[in-house]
Amino acid sequence: MFKPLTSACPACGNKEITAWRNKVRLDQQFSIWRCAICKTAFLNPQPTKDFLNSIYQFSGLGLSQPISFNEVIATESEYPNATVDAKRLVIQAKRYMPNHIGLKALDIGSGYGFFSRAALQAGFTVTAINPGIWENAVFEEMNGLTPISARFEDVDFAERFDLVILSQVLEHVENPFDFLLKIRAIMATSGVLAIAVPNVDSILVKVLGTRDNSCLWVPEHLTFFSTTGLMKILQRSGFLITRHEYISRIPYYALSNRLKLTGAFRRLVNYVTRFSQRLPLKLVDLVGVGFYHNVWAEPC
């Protein structure tokens, strides 16, 4: 079930690594190590590829059964999350592109299809790749396109892309450095890589420790990036960081679900949750302990 122990940090390559946390899930203990130099954390040892494939063949989003297009849209309507993130990543990336004609986008780990939809709406021709067949069925209904049902590591691409979308994917990758090198090789000279990954230094991890599942979700997440680690791995793989920011948001229905609210009272509580979180979470982002990293980078 496990590979041999690794001797180096997957982000910066340094060998000053030590055991940091243990977390039990799926009746199995997973060991999380951390780099003394860049502070990135990672599963060590990693689960085997066969074990990971058994998880991702149906879903990369933690689903235990298929989900319908209508269910996905209903959830997104109550809590606009993916649509907001997708628009931000895609529109900001396009601003860095000198040419806005004939643009091609590659959506890696395309999930339900919100990021591909944002790219299509922004004028890109989109190719999507995702191994989870349950998400791919929703994707097709949303976008009228069929994703490549495979892992990016296992497919060769002959064309070059102006935009590569990598939202909530890099933390799942067995070898993120080689993964980024492969992306670098298929990007247009003036292309942009748009990334979103959890922040291992988030206030959630600091407060909850291994009870946190947004970042420390094992065994699905293999690498837990610090800001320094994310910058280092991008630089090592041939990218110039154009912009970095922290993004934090609590689902509007988090309290409603906990209290099992319905109807008008649920909508009221959702509304209060939505607006009451804005100032404290903005402060969280300003001091560098936000929930997620958003990065835009260009090949150099």
* CATH code assigned at 184: 3.40.50.150
Please state, in angstroms and rounded to a whole number, the distance separating the CA atoms of residues 139 and 127.
12
Whether 295 and 243 have beta carbons less than 8 Å apart is answered as yes
Is 57 a domain residue?
yes
Instruction: Quote the pLDDT of residue 125.
Output: 98
Q: In the predicted model, what is the mean pLDDT of the chain?
A: 95
Residue 240, domain member (yes or no): yes
Q: How far is CA 175 from CA 46, 181, 185, in A?
A: 10, 10, 16
- d(Cα 110, Cα 148) in Å, to the nearest integer? 10
**Angle at Cα 291 formed by Cα 126 and Cα 172, nearest 5°?**
50
Q: What is the per-residue pLDDT across 202-223, written as a single tens digit (0 to 9) for each?
A: 999 999 999 999 999 999 999 9
| Confidence (pLDDT) at 9 | 98
What's the number of domains the chain is made of?
1
Q: Please report the pLDDT score of residue 58 as a whole number.
A: 66
Better pLDDT: 62 or 207: 207
- 108-120 mean pLDDT: 98
- Structural domain includes residue 8: no
* Residue 223 within a domain: yes
For 150-185, the three-class secondary structure string (H helix, E strand, C coil) is CCHHHCCCCCCEEEEEEECCHHHCCCHHHHHHHHHH
pLDDT, tens digit, for every residue of 142-169?
Answer: 999 999 999 999 999 999 999 999 999 9
Q: For residue 2, is it within any domain?
A: no
Query: What's the domain range around 103?
Result: 17-299
Q: Is 227 helix (H, G, I), strand (E, B) or coil?
A: helix
Does some domain include residue 231? yes
Res 231: pLDDT: 98
Per-residue pLDDT tens digits for 176-186: 999 999 999 99
Q: Is 140 buried (19+), middle (13-18) or exposed (0-12) by CB count in 10 A?
A: middle
Tell me, yes or no, whether 9 lies in a domain. Answer: no
pLDDT digits (tens, 9 = 90+) for 227-276: 999 999 999 999 999 999 999 999 999 999 999 999 999 999 999 999 99
Confidence of residue 288 (pLDDT cuts 50, 70, 90): very high
Predicted pLDDT at 59: 65
Q: Which residue is it, tokens 């600091």?
A: 206
pLDDT of residue 137: 96
Residue 225 included in any domain: yes
- Closest-CA residue to 165 (of 138, 183, 142, 146): 183
> Residue 250 corresponds to which tokens in the numbers above?
């609590």
CA distance 148 to 207: 39
